[in-house]
Structures are given as C-alpha cells and as structure tokens.
Chain A
C-alpha cells in the first residue's frame, strides 16, 4: 500500500494534518503567506529546502502556543487570547491555596456574545485539607479572577480532586 508523505507533493498537506483544528487554521494562514511569494523569482533547490525546514520550525513554535479563545472587549470588539493564558490564571488561583496544586483546566464556551464559559479544574490536595470548606472560596476566587482579567463570566465551575499529594 502506497503511503503518501509530505515530500511526495510539497504543495499538499499530509492527510492527517487536518485532524487538528488548530493546525488546519495555521496551515491555511501559512498558505496565504506563501501565495504572496509564488510569483517571486525561483530560488535554487537548496534555498527552497532551507525555507521549507524554516517554515516547519516556525509552525512548530507557533503550534506550541496552542489555540486561542475569542473574547469581547468592553467596547464590544473581538480579540484573541491564547487559551493557555486563561488556564494559567485558573491554575494560579488554585495554587494560591497553599495546600492545593492545580492540574488540569478545561474551558468550554457557553455563549460567545456574553463571554460565558464553563470551567472544569482538577487539582491535588494535601491529606489534612478539609476540601469541602475550601470549595466555595476556590470557586469564588476562580470566578473573580476570570472576570477581572478577561471579562469572562464563569457560569459553571466544576472542581475535582484528582489525587492526594504529600507535603
């Protein structure tokens, strides 16, 4: 069975590239950039090979940033924030409770117009922690941080203890 690789036709992406929505968006943006240079004078093969590897290096670095979340400003303009930045703020709130350590954070958009999201966060806790007493404070802390920094309305915050850690 023949397997198609990127090198077979450099103008066509690998078949599995579009499994990832973020990579698909990046690929389409890159295509726009490259189309600007198709009419440029033909570069020698070694230059084109160098350009290809440089492009892939840049794409990989961009891919590490991860996807972005669209939010709305007070003046109703849309803008993007890297989703990792939003997750980092949630993790920071959890970690600020000294006996807790943040792990996973998930965001799910409920309403784009209202910047309303559902937040899911997992964490580990020290064995002596009375977690039920902490939960309301944790929820309030996360909701306040997301609203203050990003204008996000955290309509639902689901918290889960994933493990116990030793101090």
Chain B
C-alpha cells in the first residue's frame, strides 16, 4: 500500500535519478516516455495533480519496481557505454536512498529494482 511517506520517498528518488542521469557524461537529454506522459495526462484529467513528466518513470508493483529511462545520447559517445554508466549511476542513487532508511526498514519498493533504458537517438 502506498502511504504518504512512501510517495514522498519515491518523489525524492525520482529527483535523485533525474539529477544523476542528466549529469552522466554522454546523456544529451532525458525525454519523457509516452507511458509517463499518458499517466500524467490521465491523472490530470481525473483531477489528480502530479509533477511534469521528466524522462524518469518509476513504476512500483507487488513484484518490484521498474524504472523507465528514455534519453538521447550526445554525439561522440558509444550508446552501450553511456547506458552502462546511466545504469550504474541510477543503481547508486537507489542504494543511497535505501541506506538512508533505518536498518531493516528499507521500503519494499527499493528492494527489487530493475531498469528499462531506451536510447531515442544521437544528437
């Protein structure tokens, strides 16, 4: 069950991820996925305020958390290496959030985290 503190944790994690991924060498810019835009459009239509789509979409399910990231790679960088760097940086951000929780009280959504990364192009 998503509580208010759980929601705030995810917001904080989201902000960490946006910052850390944007700063990763080789990332030109994050791009909101259609899923993220769709989710926020639907929420807005049903009167639920939400932040702007950012390009980092965190989806929590009973089986775990999946983080979707879409971005453009900067010219002169190999896409595979940039993806590895993004993955590593994002995992560090998740681990850092987990370590801030009291021992044994890390939220379940941070236990089983997978990343789905898509490169939209080179620019």
Q: Say whether, besides A41-B46, A50-B45, A74-B81, A30 and B118 are in contact (CB < 8 Å).
A: no
Tell me the interface secondary structure of chain A in the complex: helix
- The answer to whether A58 and B118 touch across the interface, beta carbons within 8 angstroms, is no
| A54 interface residue per 8 A CB criterion | yes
| Interfacial residues, chain A to chain B (CB-CB below 8 A) | 26, 29-30, 33-34, 36-37, 40-41, 43, 47, 50-51, 54-55, 58-59, 61-62, 65, 68, 71-75, 77, 79-82, 84-85, 88-89, 148-151
- The answer to whether B79 and A149 touch across the interface, beta carbons within 8 angstroms, is yes
Ordered by A's residue number, 26 sampled pairs between the chains whose C-beta atoms are within 8 Å are: A26-B34, A33-B35, A37-B42, A37-B46, A43-B46, A50-B45, A51-B42, A51-B45, A54-B41, A54-B42, A55-B41, A61-B34, A72-B80, A73-B83, A73-B84, A73-B87, A74-B84, A79-B83, A81-B79, A81-B118, A85-B120, A85-B121, A149-B78, A149-B122, A150-B78, A150-B80
Across the interface, B78 reaches (CB within 8 A) one of A33, A50, A151, namely A151
Chain A residues with CB under 8 A of B121? 82, 84-85, 88
User: How many A-B residue contacts, CB cutoff 8 Å?
Assistant: 89
Chain A residues with CB under 8 A of B45? 43, 47, 50-51, 54
Most buried by B among A29, A33, A89: A33
Chain A residues with CB under 8 A of B84? 73-75, 77
Q: Say whether, besides A73-B83, A77-B87, A150-B80, A55 and B122 are in contact (CB < 8 Å).
A: no
- The answer to whether B122 and A85 touch across the interface, beta carbons within 8 angstroms, is yes
